[in-house]
Structure 1
Amino acid sequence: MPETGLVEGTVTMDGQPLPNVSIVFQPQDDPKARASMALSDEQGHYSLSYHADKQGALIGPHKVSVTTPSDAPDPSGQAKEPIPAKYNSKSELVVEVQAGSNDIPLELTSK
């Protein structure tokens, strides 16, 4: 297994915790590399998993996307994503994962 750093933090929108959102850290150096994922809890806290039996994310820069899992599209047939595109489909969020433990808060804004 490649070297990873443990990653956890809190995801917020306009200062309020974002519960039950999906967080994906995709390595920037190698877009084909395995991404790390997490689902935030009721307080917006997340802890990344790299593999079924390995926590964390690969060392280095990552593009981060935050999305709301949706089971039901709106009446137009389109899923309505309350999180702005700059944090998911057109993510501008880039963070650096270091060896060891990383506390990476994701502070999003609705504007």
Structure 2
Amino acid sequence: MPETGQVEGIVTMDGAPLANVSIIFQPQDDPNARASMGVSDEQGHYSLSYHTDKQGALIGSHKVSVTTPTDAPDPSGQAKEPIPAKYNSKTELVVEVTAGSNDILLELTSK
């Protein structure tokens, strides 16, 4: 297994915790590398898993996407994502993961 750093933090939207959102860290250096994922709790806290038996994310720069799991699409057949595209499908979020423990605050804005 490659070296990972432990990653956890809080995700907010306009200062309020975002509950039950998916957070994905995709390594920038190798788009084919395994992404790390986590889901926030009611307080917006998340921690990432790299593999079923390995926590964290690969060391290095990551594009971060935050999405809301959707149960039902809108009438057009497209799911309506309440989180702006600049944080998911067209993410502009980039963070650096280092060896050891990483506490990464993701502060999103609806504007």
Q: Where in structure 1 are there 5+ consecutive unaligned residues?
A: none
How many angstroms apart in 2 are the aligned matches of 1:73 and 1:44?
24
RMSD over aligned CA atoms reads: 0.4
Q: Which residue of 2 aligns with 1:24?
A: 24
> What are the within-5 Å matches in structure 2 for residues 85-96 of structure 1?
85-96=85-96
Q: Which amino acid aligns with 1:89?
A: S
Asked whether 1:75 is paired with 2:75, we answer yes
- Equivalent pairs: percent with the same residue? 87
Normalised by the length of structure 2, the TM-score is: 0.99
TM norm structure 1: 0.99
Return structure 1 stretches of 4+ with deviation > 2 angstroms. none
- TM-aligned CA deviation for residue 71 of structure 1: 1.4
Other-structure match for 1:40: 40
Once the two structures are TM-superposed, the CA of residue 77 in structure 1 deviates from its matched residue by 1.4
> Aligned letter for 2:92?
E
CA distance in 2, matches of 1:74, 1:44: 26
Deviations 1:49-75 (A, max 9, x none): 000000000000000000001110012
Which 5+ residue runs of structure 2 have no aligned equivalent? none
State how far apart, in whole Å, the 2-side matches of 1:60 and 1:14 are.
Answer: 27
Amino acid corresponding to residue 107 of structure 1 in structure 2 = E
Residues of 1 paired with 2:78 and 2:54: CA distance? 35
Secondary structure of the structure 2 residue equivalent to 1:31? coil
